[in-house]
Chains A and B, each alone.
Chain A
Amino acid sequence: MDQVSFFLAATVRMATPLMIAALGLVVSERAGLMNIGVEGTMLAGAFAAFSVSAFTGNYWLGILCAMLAGCVMALLFAFTSITLRTPQIVIGAAVNMLGSGLTAVLFRKLFFDAATGGIQVATFPALPIPLLHAIPILGSILFNHNVIVYIGMLLVPALWFIMNRTSTGLKIIAVGEHPRAADSMGVNVFRTRYAATLFSGVLMGLAGGYLSIAQANSFNVDMTGGKGYIAMAIVVLGKWTPGGVAGGALLFGGANALQMTLQNLGLGIPNNIIMMVPYIVTILAVLTASRHRVIDAGAKGIPYIKV
């Protein structure tokens, strides 16, 4: 029983960064922007959170700076792809390289210490929710996490509501599907696309910050380890809906948690094989998802030009 609830609680913890990043992607992709720079944006967030937390000892300030860093990376992407109309895939790849290279250099320069291998920083503590965490089993799975996990949980219904029940959501879908039609109805296509991209950058930064100062208490070079790409797969799997993305993130979180649990159990399976589990799940999930008809934005990746 302990193993099971440990596994499920770990699933939630592992799913959170994937889900937050994927939710950000949902917003930008539905607005018509294919930002493959998630990985680099998350790294920027992770490093910003870590370094600010290290210097100030304040993890709240750290996570705020993570979101700001994500926003800056997204601004770079938005300016080049929306205003300059540079191919989005190229810019996304550049953002990834920039995020990886810049954080690695700064980390080595500012923090690396050959003796200790790195420093540890103030991190978000677990914040059991009064009463709810005492519920047997469920309490430890859902209500005994740090605050960012809760934020992630609340983001799912919030984004669903925004996308489906507000005029902002309609505008986002409209500029992603048929920007000229949106323009003809008085929607400011550029402003909407910028806003969607910057918002998605904030969430990617938050997801990155979670990795360094909520899940871990340190920064490693390239510590995202492909989580940005998995988030992109989750968006496809979740069919560009917040609820679907939450489900997809739990699946991948579960695969990660399973890998950890299997290692804990010590079944004698070689670790290398166990560590493959999340990646195999990625491939299988994307294969199944691509067999269904998807509701991707019609004008994704295409810059809008006002005649």
Chain B
Amino acid sequence: MNVVEMRGIYKYFSDTCANKNVDFSLRKGEIHALLGENGAGKSTLMNILYGLYTYDAGTITVNGARVDMENPATAIRHGIGMVHQHFMLIPQLTVTQNIFLCAKEAGFVLNMPTLEARVEEMNRRFGFRVDPSAFVWQLPVGIQQKVEILKALARNIRILILDEPSAVLTPKESDELFSTLQSLVREGYSVILITHKMQEVLDFSDRVTVMRAGEVVDTLNVSDTDAHALANMMVGREVFLQRQTKPQPTGEPMLEVCDLTVKNDKKLDWVKNISFQVRAGEIVGIAGVDGNGQLELGEAIAGGRTLESGSIRLCGKDITRSSIRRRLDMGLAHIPDDRQKKGLVLQFPIKDNILLSGQRSKQYANGFFLNTKKIEARTRTLVERFDVRPTDINLPAGSLSGGNQQKVILAREVDRGGKVLLAFQPTRGLDIGAIEFVRAKLVEERAKGAAILLISTDLDEIRSLSDRILVMYEGHITGELPYNAPLEQIGLMIAGHDTTTIEKARGDVQ
């Protein structure tokens, strides 16, 4: 029996069609995964079902009756609850106050002890341990998510939508979450799981609806499909994340770091006496767990952090004390680790983000005055070449999905024609299609002879792109490995097992 039927849903955001003739159904007592890349329209569809977004066409039926989803209150009345990716909690209110905000049974005057007892009762029933009187801002995200779920359950919802619920959780917390969901389903609840993680679909879901570019590709029983087929449906073509770099001769050293020491924000030495080179036409990967000095190293090379000692040479010239502007002029390109805070001005349109740092070049300006025509023409070319979607160059960068934001940065940095590219977590948080695109571009730049320093915590990424791998641990470079070093070996080294034992292990193997 279908508890939810959505038929022919259309949703436009200005000119962009986010949902196009979407059909979706949910059966009673199932976990139904909604799979798709970032920007495929999954969250939009569910926000429509929850009444948070208005829709332009289509019908919604809940438990057999047509419902005009005007607002979340309507959805809640029909037993639909939603846990958003960015939690919808009021930090300044307590857990109990959040749970009973706007709930009918709370009445006008709040009887806090009674309401807190109700939360305790739900805690027992669903196996949670949430302090009812704690303020939400005091709680870790894993617990906040439980508050979100309790909030829905307290309103007697029977249909629970979860938007990327595991994105903010540790592996242990997500295991707990999924066992909670499974026990809810056994009690007759129905669950919609928005995700782009294949494993969650395969391990926990009964059916899956795949969305791509605002449309439904197909709805399948999970038992009838596999990861490969789903990935292809998601992206719309064969996905290829394996190593694509071919060996090629390297040229002159373009980036030379010598005895570099840098302090972190707490004024402690965080990068300690590091030396390495990156040659033209090679990708050097820096592997390591977050917080081992990669951030400080990257910022020191980009020019955003002062050095304690050591020197940096770019294209053979000393840049130790050069300004950021001079480094850029000399051919440094930089993909920062946080695209929204450091890579883009989110309020600016795409074209102005492309212009950033190029405002002095002849390509975009005649002396003091910007040449709007040239900027727009160039942006159009780049938007096309880098497949940025939507293609409207006047849209603010903040309205783009993560993958498209990263493409804008990539387009700007690559287009400057830098000889050295500093790529810092270039695919963090992106979906498969965008990851593939960004990596292919890096490989393309390498083939053109760029020297690329890749800093990433993703070992698969390091292994699939790098020619050489440097492992960073507690501010030191603890070893250099070839790209085809076994994963376990890199894993051991980033966890701080020192190179000598590893060298020895390697010797034993040989």
Contact = CB atoms under 8 A, between A and B. Distances in A.
Contacts of B54: 306-307
A171 B91 CA distance: 13
Interface in A148-189: 165-168, 170-171, 173-174, 177-178, 180-187
A192 B193 CA distance: 32
B110 A170 contact: yes
B72 A181 contact: no
Nearest to A165: B110
B435 interface: no
B419 interface: no
A298 interface: yes
B368 interface: no
B110 A177 contact: no
A173 B92 contact: yes
A167 B76 CA distance: 18
A193 to B, nearest CB: 15
Given A170-B93, A178-B91, A186 B73 contact: yes
A154 B8 CA distance: 57
B102 A307 contact: no
A178 B107 CA distance: 22
A171 B102 contact: yes
B90 A181 contact: yes
A267 interface: no
A171 B101 CA distance: 7
Count chain A CB atoms within 10 A of each CB in B82, B101, B112 and give the residue with the most: B101
Contacts of B117: none
A187 B89 contact: no
Contacts of A184: 50, 52, 72, 82, 84, 88
Contacts of B106: 167
A167 B110 contact: yes
Interface string B68-91: 000111001000001010011111
Interface residues of A, number: 22
Interface residues of B, number: 30
A173 B91 CA distance: 10
Given A183-B52, A185-B151, A187-B101, A167 B88 contact: no
A173 B90 contact: yes
Contacts of B52: 180, 183-184, 307
A110 interface: no
Given A182-B90, A295-B92, A174 B101 contact: yes
B88 A180 contact: yes
Given A167-B102, A167-B107, A171-B102, A177 B97 contact: no
Contacts of A187: 101-102
Contacts of B88: 178, 180-181, 184-185
B164 to A, nearest CB: 16
B108 A166 contact: yes
Contacts of B102: 167, 170-171, 174, 182, 185-187
Interface in A249-287: none
A295 B93 CA distance: 12
B82 to A, nearest CB: 7
Nearest to A192: B102
B39 to A, nearest CB: 16
A22 B383 CA distance: 52
B53 interface: yes
From DSSP, what is the main secondary structure of chain A's interface residues? helix
Nearest to A296: B92
B401 to A, nearest CB: 16
B136 to A, nearest CB: 10
Interface in B337-356: none
B109 interface: yes
Contacts of B71: 183, 186
A307 B16 CA distance: 14
Contacts of A166: 108-110
Interface in B26-79: 47, 50, 52-54, 71-73, 76
Nearest to B11: A307
A177 B109 contact: no
A183 B72 contact: yes
Contacts of A183: 52, 71-72
B101 A170 contact: yes
A43 to B, nearest CB: 33
A306 B52 CA distance: 8
Given A170-B101, A174-B101, A181 B89 contact: yes
A292 to B, nearest CB: 16
A186 B82 CA distance: 12
A186 B90 contact: no
A18 to B, nearest CB: 25
A54 B313 CA distance: 83
B73 A168 contact: no
Interface in B266-310: none
Contacts of B101: 167, 170-171, 174, 182, 185, 187
Interface in B101-119: 101-102, 106-110, 112
B89 A168 contact: no
A167 B50 CA distance: 23
B108 A177 contact: no
Contacts of B109: 165-166
Count chain A CB atoms within 10 A of each CB in B53, B82, B92, B112 and give the residue with the most: B92
A162 to B, nearest CB: 10
Interface of B: 13, 47, 50, 52-54, 71-73, 76, 82, 84, 87-93, 97, 100-102, 106-110, 112, 151
21 contacts: A165-B109, A165-B110, A167-B107, A168-B108, A170-B102, A170-B110, A174-B90, A177-B90, A178-B88, A178-B89, A178-B91, A180-B88, A185-B72, A185-B76, A185-B151, A186-B71, A295-B92, A306-B54, A307-B13, A307-B47, A307-B53
Given A173-B93, A181-B88, A298-B92, 15 more contacts: A165-B110, A168-B108, A170-B93, A170-B100, A170-B101, A173-B92, A174-B93, A181-B87, A181-B90, A182-B90, A182-B101, A184-B50, A186-B72, A186-B102, A187-B101
Which 6 residue pairs spanning A and B have beta carbons closest together? A186-B73, A181-B88, A184-B88, A177-B90, A186-B102, A185-B102
